[in-house]
Amino acid sequence: MLAECHPSLARWYEEGRSAEEALQLDFVPTREAFTRFFSRSKSRFAEGGFIFQAWTGPVEGTHGVSASVTSAGTATHVSSSASVVFPLEPLGSERLLTRAVVARVMRALAKAWEPDWALARA
């Protein structure tokens, strides 16, 4: 869904300890990939919740886009959320950080994850 929002959102990498490590961890967002990811204990917490973080890698000379999704499961002390961090772009040269792209990304996240809240920032 995110690839439809902007071509720079077509390729994703799992979170790594460094940018170099993350670039070795291609992530194709399929049901099977998410099932594998969520079965790892480091991604899960009590009450059936999980945290997922991914990164696009460098985009057009910037640090790229990162996304994070948290599912509360049955926990009452954690809310389900989705956040996206866009790269800063010089004024007048917005390529990725536009109202239309941000709106499409947030709609896609809301549709896919149904979070309690969502945040987009640069």
Residue 49 has a pLDDT of: 76
**For position 86, what pLDDT does the model report?**
92
Q: Torsion-angle region of residue 109: left (phi > 0), alpha (psi -120 to 50) or beta? A: alpha
Which residue, 91, 81, 84, is CA-closest to 65? 84
| Prediction pTM value | 0.80
Give residue 100's pLDDT.
93
| H or E element, residue 101 | helix 99-113
pLDDT tens, residue order, the chain (122 aa): 888 999 989 889 888 888 888 888 888 877 787 777 777 666 666 666 778 888 898 877 778 899 988 887 776 777 889 999 998 887 777 788 889 999 999 999 999 888 999 999 98
The reported pLDDT for the residue numbered 41 is 60
Phi, psi for residue 84 in degrees, rounded to 5: -135, 130
> What whole-number distance in Å separates Cα of residue 17 and Cα of residue 107?
30
pLDDT for residue 53: 87
